Amino acid sequence: MAECIFCKIIKGDIPSRKVYEDDAVLAFDDISPMAPAHVVIIPKKHIATLMDVDAKADITGKLIAAAQQVAEIKQVAESGFRLAINCNADGGQVVFHLHMHLLGGRKLEDQLG
């Protein structure tokens, strides 16, 4: 998707601070962090929303495996972190390229929203 901001990050047309990368997944620091560790984890293939994911496809496990790696890299695996996927308008999704937020490095609020 030419106009998708995260596809542009994958192509290198928009700079990002890469945290982790493999054949299927890219993770980079969120430009507007809500916690000391705030990483955006995306599939390299454009998928618009969580509802467009084939839950049985390899990408599902690869995203989770990438989140584990990111947690280790950001040194929050032991202290703890939160993974969040916003979906569509009420979920607060702004960028329509599937992504997980990994948040950690501080005590997060008990309430999700």
20-39 binders of ligand AMP (CB under 6 A)? 28, 30-32
Binding status of residue 108 toward Zn ion by CB under 5 A: no
Do the Cβ atoms of 108 and 35 come closer than 8 Å? yes
Binding status of residue 86 toward ligand AMP by CB under 6 A: yes
Count of residues engaged in binding Zn ion, rule: CB under 5 A: 6
Distance CA 36, CA 26 (A): 19
The least distance separating ligand AMP from the CB of residue 4, rounded to whole angstroms, comes to 11
Residue 30 CA to its chain's centroid (Å): 9
* 1 contact, one of ligand AMP, Zn ion, none, CB 5-8 Å limit per kind: Zn ion
Binding status of residue 87 toward ligand AMP by CB under 6 A: no
99 part of the active site: yes
Q: Write the CB contacts of 104 (distance below 8 Å, at least 6 apart in sequence).
A: 35, 36, 37, 71, 74, 76, 79, 80, 81, 82
What tokens does 54 get?
Answer: 């084939």
Find the DSSP H helices in the chain: 5-11, 58-73, 88-91
Which of 38, 97, 99, 101 does the annotation list as catalytic? 99
Enumerate binding residues for Zn ion (CB under 5 A).
1, 4, 6-7, 46, 97
Catalytic residues, by residue number, are: 99
Enumerate binding residues for ligand AMP (CB under 6 A).
5, 14, 16, 28, 30-32, 40, 86, 92-95
